[in-house]
Structure 1
Amino acid sequence: MTWFFVSVVVFMAGHIVPGLLRGAITARIGHTAYIVTFSIMSLFLLGWVIYEVQHADFIALWPYEIWQNHVTLTLMLPACILWAAAIIQPCPLSIGRKKGFDPAHPGINRFTRHPLLLGMMLWGLGHILPNGDLVAFMFFGGATVFAISGFWRMEKIRARHMEDAEYKAILDGTRRFDLMGIAEGAFGWRDIVLGIGLYIVILWAHPHVIGVDPLAAIGG
């Protein structure tokens, strides 16, 4: 379990330190190189954490039931659609594309300014139930808390690079979370199609990458 905690600390440091030094790093290597390097490093560190979760001592907290996997599969579909929206649509106050935002047509930002983080929250919540051991609970629960806290953190980071009037205008026309935004065109057909495609890819890749087949777990 020691290496699990080490991997988590390094993962957190790998996100906090580059964020604090982002200005200096981008000035030296450029914005694109920073994003690519940060993304590769994040995936590597996440893979390390997942490896340690899989190999940590098993300390059961609650028994496994098949219905728990149905919760995971259900929550992962909207999570994938949210991730797709974060890729396709501009998210000026969160992780994702900053350019191209139109205050008159906020899109996904009318439902949530943070589709990637909200999807991560659903991913974390959905994986807590079928993984009823201590380390998995800390990992998925921590990921959920990390995603929620990122709502406020990302807005503060983006605000540093905006004029006050621009920042206020975006805040006024967007929401951290508002279900009414779904009825107001938050999601386009491309978000849904890409999200479903991503969902299918994850279902296919999960047994090969993680070693667990979600469909087999429910008898599919």
Structure 2
Amino acid sequence: MTWFFVSVAVFMAGHIVPGLLRGAITARIGHTAYIITFSVTSLFLLGWVIYEVRHADFIALWPYEIWQNHVTLTFMLPACILWAAAIIQPCPLSIGRKKGFDPARPGINRLTRHPLLLGMMLWGLGHIVPNGDLVAFMFFGGATVFAIAGFWRMEKIRARHMDVAEYKAILDGTRRFDVAGLAKGALGWRDIGLGILLYVVLLWAHPYVIGVDPSAVIGG
């Protein structure tokens, strides 16, 4: 379990330190190189954490039941659609593309300013249920808390690079979370289509990457 905590500490440092030094780093290597390097490093560190979760001592908190996997499968579809929206649509106050945002047509930002983080929250919550051991609970629960805290942190970071009028205009037409946004054009067919595709790809890749086949319980 020691290496799990080490991997988590390094993962957190890998996000906090680059954020604090972002200005100096981008000035030296450029914004694009920074994003690529940060993304690759984050994926590598996340893979390390997942490896340690899979190999940590098993300390049971609750028994496994097959219905629990259906919770994960259910939560992951909206998570994938939210991630797709974060790729396709601009999210000026969160992780994702900032350019091209129109306050008159906020899109996904009517539902949430943070589709990637909201999707991460659903991913964490959905995976807690069928993984009833201590390390998995800390990992997925921690990821959920990390995502929720990111709502406020990302807005604070983005606000540093905006004037007051621009920031206020974005806040006025967007929401951290408002389900009514679904009826106001928050999601388009491209978001849903790409989200379903991502969902299918994850189902296919999961047994090869993680070693667990979530689709095995479909119909079970």
Aligned length, in residue pairs: 220
Cα shift at 1:169: 0.6
| CA offsets 1:9-64 (integer angstroms, 9 cap, x no match) | 00000000000000110011000000000000000000000000000000000000
Equivalent position amino acid for 1:67 in 2 = W
Match of 2:61 in 1: 61
**1:105 aligned to 2:81?**
no
Aligned positions of 1:108-119 closer than 5 A: 108-119=108-119
Alignment partner of 1:144 is 2:157? no
Partner of 1:84: 84
Secondary structure at the counterpart of residue 93 of structure 1:
coil
Return the alpha-carbon distance in structure 1 between the equivalents of residues 39 and 164 of structure 2: 29
**Separation of aligned partners in 2, 1:47 and 1:173:** 37
2:176 counterpart letter in structure 1:
R
C-alpha deviation, 1:215, in angstroms: 1.3
- 1:141 CA displacement: 0.1
**CA–CA distance in structure 2, aligned partners of residues 102 and 154 of structure 1:** 19
User: 1:20 corresponds to which residue?
Assistant: 20
Residue identity over aligned pairs, in percent, reads 89
In the alignment, the residues of structure 2 paired with residue 216 and residue 87 of structure 1 have an alpha-carbon distance, to the nearest angstrom, of 29
Q: Following TM superposition, by how much is the alpha carbon of 1:217 offset from its aligned partner in structure 2, in angstroms? A: 3.6
What residue in structure 2 maps to residue 205 of structure 1?
A: 205
Q: Distance in 2 between matches of 1:29 and 1:211?
A: 37
Instruction: Detail structure 1 runs of 4+ shifted over 4 Å in the superposition.
Output: none
Matched to 2:18, the amino acid is P
Alignment RMSD, CA only? 0.7
* 1:181 aligned residue: 181
Q: What is the match of residue 154 of structure 2? A: 154
Q: Is the 8 A contact 1:66 1:218 kept in 2?
A: no
State the partner residue of 1:31: 31
- Rounded to whole Å, the distance in 2 between the matches of 1:170 and 1:20 is 24
- Match in the other structure for 1:192: 192
Work out whether residues 93 and 154 of structure 1, in 8 Å CA contact, stay in contact via their aligned partners in 2.
yes
Distance 1:217 1:14 in 2: 35
Query: 1:49: which partner in 2?
Result: 49
CA contact (8 A) 2:85 2:187 kept: yes
Cα distance per residue 1:110-168 (max 9 Å; x no partner):
10000000000000000001000000000000000000000000000000000011001
Letter paired with 2:91: C
Report deviation, 1:219: 5.5
1:133 aligns with 2:133: yes
- Runs of 5+ in structure 1 lacking a partner? none
The answer (yes or no) to whether the contact 1:91–1:97 under 8 Å persists in 2 is yes
Mapping 1:156-175, distance limit 5 Å: 156-175=156-175
Q: Distance between the aligned counterparts of 2:31 and 2:157, measured in 1? A: 15
Residue 95, structure 1, aligned to residue 95, structure 2: yes
Separation (CA, whole Å) in 1 of partners of 2:57 and 2:217? 22
Query: Aligned partners of 1:219, 1:173: CA distance in 2, in Å?
Result: 42
* TM-score, with structure 1 as normaliser: 0.99
Deviations 1:86-115 (A, max 9, x none): 000000000000000000000000100000
Q: Secondary structure at the match of 2:176?
A: coil
